Structure 1
Amino acid sequence: MGGRAAVLQDKIPELRAGKPRARPGFMQELDKPQIMFVTMFDPDEPIDAIIEASRRMPEYVCYLTGNYKKIFRNRSLDENVETSTIFTGFVSDEDYLSLMENSDLVVVLTKKDLILNCGAYEAISFNKPLILSDTATLRDYFNNIAVYTKNDSRNIEESIKCCLAVSDSMVANVIDGKVELKGDWENRFIDINEQIKSIEGCR
């Protein structure tokens, strides 16, 4: 109909506090690497593969956020799960951000394409090493900010171990990539603003 579409993606949030947040009380075994899985236990998430991967990594502490009761109503929460896998349930915003800030690695996975995960934006705000699902949309947008994994347990496990081995270089990639994403957002915002002004001028 002659319209011109413009897309303004989510902006990288400013989540870093003036001083480090205190760790939430549920964080355990702090001598081990702390892995945060941003999960909501929705159908598009490879929950079984995540749990299986965490079961095979007792040398790490893995936290799964969100309402695990969605899928564990008829299953034992302790079934095939190591004690180093923590199901946080819903937590306050402050505990959620504190967990992310105090984690060594953030993992956000989906089985769907055409999705940009909010958890990825949050992790980037904290300059955290990041693992995302290997989809065309995520690769195209986040580029070399993240490591990309297939959604099976073996690939998830291998990606986590690889990321932790090169975490310093991953942090550097996140910091550089964040600058590019912010610049892209600003350019898109300016373009949309100019379009709005031109439309208003035609009235």
Structure 2
Amino acid sequence: MGFRVGGLMTSKSIWITWEDHRRSRELAAAFACEYVCFISKRNRFFRYVILSIKTLKYVVKCKPSLIFCQNPSIILALILCFYKKIIGYKLVVDRHSNFKFDSRKSLNPIWFVFHFISNFSLKKADFTIVTNQYLKDFVDSLGGCAFILPDKLPSLDCTTLPVHHKRKEVTFISTFSDDEPILEVLSAASLLSNEYIIYITGSYKKYKSIEQLKKIIPDNVVLTGFLPEHDYQLRLASSDALMVITTLEYTLTCGAYEAVALGKPMILGNTKTIMEYFNKGALYTSLTPSEIAENIIKLFRDIELFQDQVSELRAELEADWNIKFSQIVRALNEM
């Protein structure tokens, strides 16, 4: 098909997504393919109809021989799987999340349909890219063909920003999702002295427990709200340490990649997937407020050691990513 590491040689290739996601932008650049992002703010049904039409019109017009797509959206993956033989292209689906394992045994018909579509796309895609071995084994068990490629460490603009402030600053990278221990972090902050300050990113107004949150927020916590990209990077770069906690297993968080890229010591969740991949430069915590607070104190006690470990981890992850990327390129050449 004509690939080389770092991009395509002759084939027309595009990367299609319905969400503007950093991972997709980074991988599209790495594969040197055109990045096509279709966005609609309509409600779910009309959004799917509008984006499906736009996608198919574009594919028919540009006639790519290879399409990469991001899943989510699962509907995007379904449409491209369905039409790939009709239109005539190879399909690689980047399935970095969205498996919904906790709902596989649900009797809710919505989840039944979701997993039917999910399994169909995993089987019909030529390749599926996942982030870890467990997900690869799952895809392969369904008759699909999976390759492991974690996120590429992002190129951030503020990597050399000096840190000078009186208080010990921790930024909790959050989207106020259900898998993040928001209330537990607030309780942990209340156990810390005012020597520490915790910034929490993300759109807190959409949080399901917003009224409870407002009642218990301590003085040493700042809710930043949603930040534009430049301001978000400045917030991370000016922090002493970064905290990213998810309760979801088999998930590698974007915030942890950002922490490594910036050389920041980390407080991370204690899931097996997180601890195996981000295996140094971090302390791993349960959701108990006392343990979160204790780990913050421990991190600052030896913060220079953790900074050195993050630097080592960055070099290791970059080398590992290049190896895995080369393996996918070789497979594409043989497809």
Same fold (TM over 0.5): yes
**Could you list the runs of 5+ residues in structure 1 that have no partner in the other structure?**
24-29
Q: How far is 1:78 from its partner? A: 4.0
Match of 1:11 in 2: 152
Report whether the alignment pairs 1:167 with 2:308. Answer: no
| Distance of 1:183 and 1:73 partners within structure 2 | 42
| Distance of 2:157 and 2:248 partners within structure 1 | 29
Q: SS where residue 305 of structure 2 aligns? A: helix
Match of 1:39 in 2: 174
Q: 1:44 to 1:3 in 2, by over 3 A?
A: closer
1:7-58 superposed Cα distances (whole Å, 9 cap, x missing partner): 21110112154753899xxxxxx31111100011111111110010112223
Match of 1:26 in 2: none
| Distance of 1:40 and 1:175 partners within structure 2 | 26
**Could you list the runs of 5+ residues in structure 2 that have no partner in the other structure?**
1-122, 124-142
Report whether the alignment pairs 1:100 with 2:236. Answer: yes
Do the aligned residues in 1 keep the contact of 2:191 with 2:290 (CA within 8 Å)?
no
Over aligned residues, Cα RMSD in angstroms?
2.1
In the TM superposition, 1:115-126 aligns within 5 A as 115-126=251-262
1:111-169 superposed Cα distances (whole Å, 9 cap, x missing partner): 11111010000111110001110000001111123211111101100110000111100
Do the aligned residues in 2 keep the contact of 1:22 with 1:98 (CA within 8 Å)?
no
Match of 1:87 in 2: 223
| Distance of 1:178 and 1:7 partners within structure 2 | 18
Q: TM-score, normalised by structure 1?
A: 0.88
Do the aligned residues in 2 keep the contact of 1:16 with 1:125 (CA within 8 Å)?
no
Q: SS where residue 137 of structure 1 aligns? A: helix
| Distance of 1:116 and 1:18 partners within structure 2 | 21
In the TM superposition, 1:18-33 aligns within 5 A as 20=161, 30-33=165-168
Work out which of the residue numbers 72, 75, 86 in structure 1 matches 2:211.
75
More strand by share: 2
| Distance of 1:3 and 1:118 partners within structure 2 | 25
**Structure 1 counterpart of 2:152, which letter?**
K
Q: 1:42 to 1:3 in 2, by over 3 A?
A: closer
Match of 2:333 in 1: 197
| Distance of 1:18 and 1:90 partners within structure 2 | 21
> How many pairs were matched up?
193
Q: How far is 1:98 from its partner? A: 0.5
Q: SS where residue 223 of structure 2 aligns? A: strand
| Distance of 1:31 and 1:156 partners within structure 2 | 22
Q: SS where residue 61 of structure 1 aligns? A: strand
**Structure 2 counterpart of 1:139, which letter?**
M
| 161-170 or 53-62: bigger deviation | 53-62
| Distance of 2:187 and 2:208 partners within structure 1 | 15
Match of 1:109 in 2: 245
Q: 1:73 to 1:180 in 2, by over 3 A?
A: closer
Please tell me whether Structure 1 or Structure 2 has the larger radius of gyration of its CA atoms: 2
**Structure 2 counterpart of 1:12, which letter?**
L
Q: 1:95 to 1:184 in 2, by over 3 A?
A: same
| 153-162 or 67-76: bigger deviation | 67-76
